Amino acid sequence: MYVNGELILKEMRKRGINISEFARTLGYTHGTVSKWIHGRQGCTRSNIIRICDYLGLDFTEVTGMKKIPLKKFETVDYALMILKLHNWRGTL
């Protein structure tokens, strides 16, 4: 998932932090955060949520997507559907 790097940079500037400080605080490398911000690499949902929590941003603002919580049964049902589509014959 890609993020709105301009918005993240704007919020970082408001707080007076640079990419290195931001990355170090959240436990990432400068290079990884830079790739996310500049759109050279996607970011996982959990990492986006951490970024949003830290900067006080909304998931929708950062991704342009609606945040839909997944319940365990929805995930399992979806996985089983995919397995059936691919004629998977293994055991669970």
Span 28-66, pLDDT tens digits: 999 999 999 999 999 998 999 999 999 999 988 898 876
26 near 87, Cβ under 8 Å?
no
Domain enclosing residue 33, as ranges: 5-63
Residue 84 forms part of a structural domain: no
**Within a domain: residue 69?**
no
Q: Is residue 57 one of the residues assigned to a domain?
A: yes
Report field, pTM of the whole predicted structure over 0.85: no
Task: Give the pLDDT band (50/70/90) at residue 27.
Answer: very high
In the chain, the percentage of residues whose pLDDT exceeds 90 is 54
Q: Would residue 85 count as lying in a domain?
A: no
In single-letter form, the type of residue at position 60 comes to: T
Task: Examine residue 40 and state whether it is found in any structural domain, yes or no.
Answer: yes
The pLDDT value recorded for residue 56 is: 93
62 class by beta-carbon count within 10 Å (0-12 exposed, 13-18 middle, 19+ buried): buried
Q: How many structural domains comprise the chain?
A: 1
Q: Residue 4's CB: how many other CB atoms inside 10 A?
A: 15
Domain of 46, CATH number, reads 1.10.260.40
Residue 79 lies in a domain: no
